[in-house]
Every structure is written in structure tokens, then in C-alpha cells.
Amino acid sequence: MVIKMAGKLANSSVELIGDTPIVRLSKIDKDYPFEIWAKCEFMNPTGSVKDRMAYYMIKEAEKQGKLKPGMTIAIATTGNTGIAFAAWGSYFGYDVLIVMPEEMSYERKLLDMLFGAKLIYTPGGESDAMGALEYAKKLEKENPDKYVVLDQWDDEANFKAHYETTGREIIEQLGAENIKGFVAGVGSGGTLVGIAKRLKDANPRIITAGMEPAECPTAEGWFKSGELGAWGRHEVEGIGDGFVPSLVEKYKQYIDDWVTVSSDEAIEMARRIARREALGVGISSGANVVAAIKLAERHNFGEGDRVVTILPDYAARYFSTRLFLKRRLGTEEHERMLELARED
Ligand code: PMP
């Protein structure tokens, strides 16, 4: 074990957000001339990249007077966002209501409950995430003194979290002049555009790219031809919500390219990362690493060129998926697991 520096000293758990390590995937990248570097966002306190955004959005909403003591934070989410808000909302003294499409996995629902949130389910399908958001907004409209919707898809604080922290940290860790490319999968798009702008501000030659599941290349179509790509079901939870997030539209000028990765490619790479790198990461991490390789190959990255990406969360969040199982668990199997959930 190489000991480089002591870990962080934190006076409270909130200080554990961010300042994550960046690691070279030195066994995976042996097969290529370029180097692959990945930011370990699974090392945030709730286990995902979303802690940064949840903290920034809660603090900004308080500053703007939208979020006041006694109110309930209502969050529409398909996953990690809910877990991060459940945790940090409770931490800062708020009740948290998570509105999510019914087909989300039992692991995510159990984690929301562990952190103290209440859950409401909306129908799944083509407009999963949007349906949940509309439901949350209706609650807020009917009861504005009780609920405040914090909307990750349309909140500048989401961009800011990554511009001010993740992007800055990557530059401090590697040096902007030593980075050739950067790619990240798009859920809300906050990770992509916040980091892309920070990197471009420091070194405009860095090639930045968004990534989506190949089965659902909505924003790729929009990015390349102006016409939305077709919606399709995929297995890369956390990205590919089926629409172009407004943050991505707003900061489009900082994105140079777009890459797609299939669910099979993502799952196989996540398994390979576990076995070769001893990093048990989630499916979107596998997708990001495949995207990094595709971007670097497409732009002819050579010896020693560095492509950077993100490992957004950890494998243990995907017990019900093909990361572990021969087939994804069905709705009834998820429900059976949830029958045992503690509700106290
Ligand atoms: N991967 C996972 C597992 C996620 O939960 C998310 C967030 N939805 C992302 C990637 C993408 O992050 P962002 O919302 O910043 O685009």
C-alpha cells in the first residue's frame, strides 16, 4: 500500500462530501495507448456523485428563502438523487418526500427509507422521470407552505456544485494542461456541464463529451442533428431519462461530442472493473469507462494522453440487476423484498 497522505479530518459528516480521489484505471488502460483516469464519486458519504448537488441545492434554496424550517423537500428522482436528498435533507432538519417511478429497484427504495424519507410511486414508462416531477410540482402548487420541489434538471446550483467542486478538484489533481478528454453520462447533466465548463475555462483544447445509453439516444439526436433521438428502455440507471435536460441545453457550447454505450457494454465493463481494478462500481460507471475509451479512440488519443471520467456510484446499489443476476428482478420480486422493509 502506498501511503501518500492522511485522510480528511472532518468536524461533521457534511465535510466528507467531495474531495474524492481520482484513480488511473491502470489495468483496464493497459490495452490502449492512452491513460484512463476516473473520479471516485462512490466515495461520497451516501455513496454517489449526488451528494455534492444535494448539498448545493439545499443551501441555495435556503439562501433564496424557498426552503424554510418545517417544510418538506419534495424530490422527483429515479435513484441516487433521492438517496442523497433523503440523507442531507434529514441532516439539515427537513422532512423529505421522494416521488419515483414505481419500477425503481428495491435497493434504492430501501436506502431512501434508511435515511428517513417517505416514498410515493408514480407510473413508470416513457415519461418516468417527468411523470414523477409533475406529481411533485402538483403537490407544491396545492400546498406551497408545506412542500418545496427542488428540481435537479433545472437548478443552477446543480451546475455550480460540479463547476466549483468536482471540476476544480480534477484540475487540481491532474492539471488542466495534462487532460486531453472528458466524458460523463447524462442524467440531469449537472456532472457533465459543470465539469466541462470548468475544464474548458482552464484549457479550451480539452475535448468534452456527453454520453447516453445506446437504447435511448434522445439527447444525442438533439446534439448532432437537432432532432430528438427515439426513447427506449435501457438498464443504465441514473442516466438516459429520455429528454434533454435544460442544463445541457444551456451549456451546450461546452460540449464537443456525444457518445452512446449499450446496457450490455456498460454491465460488462462494470464487471471487468470489479475484477481487474478491485473497484466494485455501478452500471453507469461501466458505461462511463466504455465512453472514455470510445471518445479517446474516435479522437485518436495517443501514448500518455489522458481521458477523464466519473465513477458515479457503487455496485452494491444494483443487487437486483444484471450486474449480479442472470436477469433483472421483476416488479413482483421487488415488491416481495419491500414487504420486509422496516417502516419505523
Ligand atoms: N450515474 C448515476 C448512477 C447517477 O445516479 C447519476 C445521477 N442521476 C448519473 C450517473 C448522472 O449524473 P447527472 O445527474 O449529474 O447527469
Question: Any catalytic annotation for residue 59?
Answer: no
Q: Do domains 13-44+166-317 and 49-152 have the same CATH topology?
A: yes
Per-residue pLDDT tens digits for 42-78: 999 999 999 999 999 999 999 999 999 999 999 998 7
Q: What is the C-alpha to C-alpha distance for residues 67 and 36, in angstroms, rounded to an integer?
A: 40
Cell numbers that stand for 245 in this block: 435536460
**Which residue has the CA at smallest separation from atom 2 of ligand 1?**
238
How many Cα atoms occupy the beta-carbon half-sphere of 321 within 13 Å?
24
Please report, for the chain, the start and end positions of each structural domain, with discontinuous segments joined by +. 13-44+166-317, 49-152
Catalytic, out of 50, 109, 180, 200: 50
Domain 49-152, CATH among 3.40.50.1390, 3.40.640.10, 2.40.70.10, 3.40.50.1100: 3.40.50.1100
Instruction: Please state the ipTM of this predicted complex.
Output: 0.99
| pLDDT for residue 122 | 87
Q: What is the CATH number of domain 13-44+166-317?
A: 3.40.50.1100
Q: How far is CA 317 from the centre of its chain?
A: 13
**Predicted confidence band at 204 (pLDDT cuts at 50, 70, 90)?**
very high
187 lines ligand 1 (CB under 6 A): yes
| pLDDT for residue 131 | 85
**Which residue has the CA at smallest separation from atom 11 of ligand 1?**
187
210 lines ligand 1 (CB under 6 A): no
pTM of the model: 0.96
